[in-house]
Chains A and B, each alone.
Chain A
Amino acid sequence: MDTFLWVVFPYLCLATFVVGHLWRYRYDKFGWTTRSSQLYENRLLRFGSPLFHFGMLGVVGGHVIGLLIPTAWTDFLGIDDHAYHLVAVIGGLAAGIATVVGMVILIYRRRTVGPVFSATTNMDKVMYAFLGAVIVLGMWNTIAGSILNLGGEYNYREGVSVWYRSFLAFQPQPELMATAPIGFQLHAFVAFVLFALWPFTRLVHVFSAPLGYLTRPYIVYRSRSTDRLGSTPPKRGWDRVG
């Protein structure tokens, strides 16, 4: 069971995540969008969306540090466990609260504003359920595990993080997850379901974060290229002659 939960299933989800994105980028560039609903409503979005997204950037950054940087590295830099966790909990809590507040505003808006609600697809609803669950479980782990110390002390940097790195290195150590508290297990499990859903939802917009904007020239010139004329994509079949 542990092998399935913490080896087979995560790899399946990871494979779906990677292959799904390649498939979608190849076949559905037209559908690859944020599907913004700002046109419908702006008063709630103006607060909810930046809170959620900036909070989320903090949360993701925190996860990258927490999961990918081994304890040995921070030890080498002379940062002791107490200092690390103090920074992690304060930073995590701030980002987490911003995310949750933003998310609550956005979900309230999505449900109560007529046009926004009618523009919500079934896939959106599924995605919101899993995204919400991951965020709530993550917040619970931070509050219950690290602040209130419910269920005893658990240092995820010696457990979950090590498992995650072993997972990415294709030498998984499922026993590390099997012994983690139930909160962490649930958080990781639901997160992997979300990763599997990811390529089929609007979340793909994360991968088109427009960082290239900072360096490209303002005005883009493009030629009507000879292999792709008009707006019709090149057709499969026999090659053109001449």
Chain B
Amino acid sequence: MRVMAQMAMVMNLDKCIGCHTCSVTCKQAWTNRAGTEYVWFNNVETRPGLGYPRRYEDQDQWEGGWVRKRNGRLALRAGGRFKKLLSIFSNPKMPSIEDYYEPWTYDYETLVRAPASDTFPVARPKSLLSGENMSIEWSANWDDNLAGSGEHAATDVMLKDIGEKVKLEFEQTFMFYLPRICEHCLNPSCAASCPSGAIYKRSEDGIVLVDQDRCRGWRMCISGCPYKKVYFNHKTGKAEKCTFCYPRIEVGIPTVCSETCVGRLRYIGLMLYDADKVLEAAAVEDDHDLYESQRSVFLDPNDPQVQREAAASGIPLDWVEAAKRSPVWKLINTYKVALPLHPEYRTMPMVWYIPPLSPVVDIIRDTGHDAEDKGNLFAAIEALRIPIGYLANLFTAGDIGPVDAVLRKLAAMRAYMRDINLGDEGDDAIAEAVGMSGTDMYEMFRLLAIAKYDERYVIPTAHAEQAHALEELATDCPVSEYGGGQQDLFGEGSGTPTPVAVENFRMLQDRQTADHMPENPMKGRVNLLNWDGKGRPGGLFPAREEEDRR
């Protein structure tokens, strides 16, 4: 047994209202730079829908992830090491910018500069790639809320097998939102695809990162990731991906997407797992067994033997304590309501989802029946094979069983809590019908519905004795600042990284909402965060000699 710790996330899809706040705040924090305009480390998809990039789930086309070979071993779907090196000059499976979308801005200048005329000046969209006029035809959430669903959603990859039926019943269609970040897989195929070895999994917390100094832009990770969550920065020529906001996690605060989530649907916690069993679990024969086999890799932090092994593997005691309190552990293993996204890619993803009961509830309510009655809900779960088949294609490689069980638990919880909310005793028979006790059911309700900040995010900090050097705290000895930083770089990537703490948002906000520019903003300091490398912002360089003489 080799115990390793993994930062993991669970999202409760029933609570997602599709507001894209997670995407926007993530973008503000991490990808508001040139070269990453089209990049969304976090995106929210409406399902059924095509997703972003378009039809990324069609692995017959993109060949991401792993496949099980006939001899029972795993191989990269896009081919082994030799094939990768031979196709390095032109990656045949790489999505083009049209599969994401062509990023654009608007020519705002004409609005203020246009001469007086009878017609209003128009800010035309300009491509951020070529600078030319363009027509906007697609974006990261073009099919939001089933927009154009007759055309787009009908070609959703996950509608395989059930497509025809859905088309027939489209007028009573269902939908839900699916927020996606990098899965920080236990068996990441992006890392396995990287020829340079620049993508690594952090041994402390399992976060998968791209070493920007070692990435050489070979682009194999982009096609290797079946979730298409590694992106190519076309300005720097390097791969970039979701970092699980590791500078924040290190000091015990949740990721930006979780922190700002309006529906409070994200849970972050630690999972302990046996690293020796990962490959074996990812290589089980039947796709339907992958959900259970991944669960079997996780280790119970309450088990004394696991605790001993964890200590032997160098996992600090407070991390084991955090693993015991982990909401992710509870949702995945105690209540068994969270499911992995696309286990059939065999990467062992670590961002799990509680499938939404809302499509079922909506349909019952629309027919005028009591949507909180256990009998009605159970009957509907039985009858509504299409939404459930669809959810199974997303979360269990098409196996209806686990999805069915989760939805029944959620339905039972709904019925059980209705009694309590009406002042009655909870009916334990409802809980027992789905194999739970009344207290468990109430605890699960608490965690899903009203859990507070420190219950939803149980994040042990990186170790205190190292804390002075952690990025977000930056209380390192100021003397060492002399000559420090990455002065060899130019443009917005230069200098030491800006911590993405709440304080910085405030500073930025204060400046943006101030009534007038201060004479000498920030006492001669320059905001490099939004500088794109063009021109000479005042105060950045010493004055030129000629100007001095004048």
Contact = CB atoms under 8 A, between A and B. Distances in A.
A42 B92 CA distance: 9
A240 interface: yes
**Mostly helix, strand, loop or mixed at chain A's interface?**
loop
Given A210-B85, A216-B197, A232-B471, A221 B129 contact: no
A220 B200 contact: yes
B144 interface: no
Contact of B232 (A30, A36, A208, A221): A36
A3 interface: no
A118 to B, nearest CB: 5
A117 B347 CA distance: 37
Given A32-B216, A223-B202, A230-B250, A118 B131 contact: yes
A99 B183 CA distance: 41
A235 to B, nearest CB: 3
Interface stretch (A43-51, A167-175, A180-188, A191-199): A43-51
Given A28-B488, A36-B217, A236-B482, 6 more contacts: A30-B236, A53-B89, A115-B127, A223-B202, A230-B469, A235-B485
A70 B78 CA distance: 43
B400 interface: no
B217 A33 contact: yes
A66 to B, nearest CB: 24
Contact of B234 (A29, A40, A50): A40
Closest 4 A/B residue pairs (Cβ):
A114-B130, A210-B195, A235-B484, A230-B471
Contacts of A42: 90, 94, 96
19 contacts: A32-B216, A34-B217, A34-B237, A39-B232, A39-B234, A40-B234, A46-B90, A114-B132, A118-B130, A208-B216, A212-B197, A222-B211, A223-B203, A223-B204, A224-B462, A230-B250, A235-B484, A237-B479, A238-B479
Nearest to A32: B216
Contact of B90 (A33, A40, A50): A50
A114 B129 contact: yes
Contacts of A117: 130
B20 to A, nearest CB: 24
A141 B301 CA distance: 72
B394 to A, nearest CB: 25
B96 A33 contact: no
B454 to A, nearest CB: 24
B215 A220 contact: no
A213 B480 contact: no
A119 B235 CA distance: 8
B89 A233 contact: no
Contacts, number: 175
Interface of A: 27-42, 45-46, 49-50, 52-54, 114-115, 117-119, 205, 208, 210-214, 216, 218-224, 226, 229-233, 235-238, 240
A12 B197 CA distance: 34
B197 A213 contact: yes
A54 B198 CA distance: 24
Contacts of B188: 219
Interface stretch (B376-384, B489-497, B525-533): B489-497
Among B130, B199, B237, find the residue whose CB has the most chain A CB atoms closer than 10 A: B237
B84 interface: yes
B54 to A, nearest CB: 15
A45 B90 contact: yes
Contact of B483 (A41, A210, A236): A236
Given A40-B129, A213-B84, A232-B471, A218 B92 contact: no
B397 interface: no
B476 A54 contact: no
Among A46, A52, A53, A231, find the residue whose CB has the most chain B CB atoms closer than 10 A: A231
Contacts of A34: 216-218, 237
A237 B191 contact: no
Interface string B71-108: 00000000001101100111110101100000000000
B89 A54 contact: yes
A30 B470 CA distance: 21
B192 A218 contact: yes
A213 B218 CA distance: 12
Contact of B480 (A33, A220, A236): A236
B78 to A, nearest CB: 13
A117 to B, nearest CB: 8
B89 A232 contact: no
A33 B483 contact: no
B377 to A, nearest CB: 42
B27 interface: no
A233 B250 contact: no
Contacts of A224: 202, 204, 462, 466
Given A34-B216, A46-B92, A220-B201, A208 B129 contact: no
B484 A237 contact: yes
A221 B275 CA distance: 11
B313 interface: no
